[in-house]
Chains A and B, each alone.
Chain A
Amino acid sequence: MAAKVEAFAPALTPDGQIRRFDIHQMIQHAVLAVSFILVVLTGIPLKFHEWAFSRWWIGLWGGIEVTRTIHYIGAWMMVAVSLYHLFYIWYSTAILKRPFPIKMVPSLKDAVSIFQELGYYIGLRKTMPENDRFNWKEKFDYWAIFWGIPVMAGSGFILMFPVFFTRFLPGWVVPTALVAHSDEAMLALTWIVMVHIFFNHFSPSGFPLNKAMFTGKVPANRYRREHTLEYNRLMGIEPAAKKDNENKEEE
């Protein structure tokens, strides 16, 4: 079991692909995605309550009591999967003695990458920046969720149990939690739909469905293009050879 789990060390698989995610990461993403969709489907009509569509939509589910229950189920799923994720990191580092997933930590290089990538898009650079295991968008997504889930869960539980929380917290937390919950939800939803879905499924390399997160594997040539630094390290390619490659491409 332990040998198969390659949480923080991608490797070439026999079919010429690169294993990027292990089963735990795939489950975590799947549960997070499903719970996110559930809370969005049942939460958005509450924010846009004046739309006739919202009334129709909630009626379709069977009334606000049903959508409220589903929203709660989605919320508990999301909290559970977040705890699973934290436990997974703790277990794999503290118990299995694997290296800490340092690749996810933002660095100065990411800030540079943002400008390089934007430079490429607006025509100031000839190439995309080279990425290690995670590019800045992937790190942004991850840390946005790392900040977003505590905000959503904290405010959400205050709204779920307002009587309980106002027993020991001041009353203003309830309307403040509502503002935070509603606005952070819009932020997350818009970012996921606009940036996350676009770059993973509508960009030329991913279209129409980037299966990496669902199979855990990425074709080697795509990995070389999108995660060049790690690919080279994995394959034992020297940085000098990489330079050669780049020159060839630019010709």
Chain B
Amino acid sequence: MRKLLLCLTGIFIVAGGILIFGATKAYALDENKCLACHGTPGMTKTNGDGKPISLYVSEEAVNTAAHRFIDCTTCHTSEPHKVQTPLTKLSLAQKCGTCHQYQYKQHQSSVHGQQLARGNSDVATCVDCHSPTGNPHSVIRVLEYNAPTYKKNIAQTCAACHNDEKLMANYGIVEKVYESYMRSFHGKAMQLGTYEITQLDKATCTNCHGVHDIKSADDPSSAVAGLESLAKTCESCHSGAGIEFARGFLGHRDASPDNIPAAHNAEILFRFLLVTVLSFGAFVVITAIIRFSINRWREEDGG
């Protein structure tokens, strides 16, 4: 009996060990053993301009990446050592576009893609949103919790650039888009929600502005340009929403005399009420506490 118990415990420990230590091990397809050399941290080469380029590919990242079962040579060609380097943002996006043609075409028409074609390197391309590190080897699937494109993480992903005041000033975007989103009902629902799949029906940046085909809000073809198309965008979730519904949107700005004055005036009215009523209440309570304490102290003293 004791032997049996011992055996069972042993089996349990071994099985648990396999589960715990074996679970995290995933292997990428590496038919040509590229990682034998390129898996060494610190591997660099000097390119034509005399600049060092890292040639290291993290095995750990690539083993969990979306493309782990696609061999290196698919992107790096069958003659990887003859490829012209360095890659640019544009050439990298083109590379993704060889397979993801539809998304690449959409991106080309987007405000990011248009700027990219003009040689602007500020803009977001595929890896900026799809890879947690910006490294093309660690691109992960949209529905993975730690993906920058997972619904709950999208606002933070956009905020990496769009919450950068200096960078946005170059493009005339003065609204604090990230903060105002997080303050909104959509942002609160997202923020207070879990990482569960139910989060997918909550609106974030991309629901109104578009995903790969994201447009500038000033572009007439944008889904948020003008009240009518804005109302249509609202309507895609809030069925039956009309022009007035869209008119109630503060537009990523605070309420002010020029932007929904009624809300601005309500803020002032309630701030006045809060300050006056509550300071009166606090005064009554504090003086009462002092008086009751004095009474108590005198009673005890007298007794």
A residues lining the B interface (CB < 8 Å): 45-46, 49-50, 54-55, 58-59, 63-65, 117-118, 120-123, 137, 162-164, 166-167, 169-176, 178-180, 183-184, 186-187, 190-191, 194-195, 198-199, 203-204
Contact = CB atoms under 8 A, between A and B. Distances in A.
A172 B291 CA distance: 47
B185 to A, nearest CB: 8
A166 B244 contact: yes
B237 to A, nearest CB: 10
Nearest to A192: B281
A101 B290 CA distance: 34
A169 B284 CA distance: 41
Contacts of A122: 287, 291
Given A162-B245, A170-B247, A187-B274, A55 B192 contact: yes
Task: Give the residue among B242, B250, B287, B296 with the most A Cβ atoms within 10 A.
Answer: B287
B192 A163 contact: no
B267 A179 contact: yes
A172 B260 contact: yes
Contact of A194 (B191, B196, B250, B282): B282
Contact of A183 (B248, B255, B274, B295): B274
B285 A195 contact: yes
Most-contacted residue by chain A among B192, B250, B267, B288 (CB, 10 A): B192
27 contacts: A46-B188, A49-B187, A58-B192, A121-B290, A122-B287, A162-B238, A162-B245, A163-B239, A163-B241, A163-B242, A166-B242, A166-B244, A171-B245, A172-B260, A172-B261, A174-B245, A175-B248, A175-B262, A175-B263, A179-B263, A180-B266, A183-B270, A190-B278, A190-B281, A191-B281, A194-B282, A194-B285
Given A64-B193, A65-B198, A204-B295, A187 B242 contact: no
B189 interface: yes
Interface in B270-303: 270-271, 273-274, 277-278, 281-285, 287-292, 295-296
Contacts of A123: 291
Nearest to A136: B284
Interface in B177-196: 182-183, 187-189, 191-194, 196
A183 B192 contact: no
- Counting from the closest, the 4 A-B pairs by CB-CB distance are A171-B247, A171-B248, A183-B270, A121-B287
Interface size class of B (residues with CB under 8 A): 35 or more
Contact of A166 (B241, B262, B263, B296): B241
B284 A118 contact: yes
State the main secondary structure of chain A at its contact with B: helix
Contact of A49 (B191, B244, B266): B191
Given A49-B188, A55-B191, A163-B240, 8 more contacts: A49-B191, A63-B193, A64-B189, A123-B291, A166-B242, A190-B274, A191-B281, A198-B288
Scoring A45, A64, A162, A186 by chain B CB atoms within 10 A of each residue's CB, the highest score goes to A64
A194 B238 contact: no
A226 to B, nearest CB: 14
Contact of B198 (A46, A63, A198): A63
Contacts, number: 134
A121 B248 contact: no
B274 A186 contact: yes
Chain B CB count within 10 A is highest, among A59, A137, A164, A195, for A195
B203 interface: no
Contacts of A65: 198
Contact of A176 (B249, B266, B284, B295): B266
Given A167-B242, A198-B288, A203-B288, A46 B192 contact: yes
Nearest to A184: B270
Contacts of B198: 63, 65
A38 B130 CA distance: 41
A118 B287 contact: yes
Contacts of A180: 266, 270
A210 B62 CA distance: 67
Given A121-B284, A187-B278, A194-B285, A176 B193 contact: no
A63 B194 contact: yes
B273 A187 contact: yes
Nearest to B238: A163
Given A180-B270, A183-B270, A166 B245 contact: yes
Contacts of B260: 172, 175-176
Contacts of B284: 117-118, 121, 137, 195
Contacts of A169: 244
B200 to A, nearest CB: 13
B246 interface: yes
Contacts of A176: 260, 262-263, 266
A166 B248 CA distance: 9
B191 to A, nearest CB: 6
A58 B270 CA distance: 27
A198 B192 CA distance: 32
B247 to A, nearest CB: 3
A195 B281 contact: yes
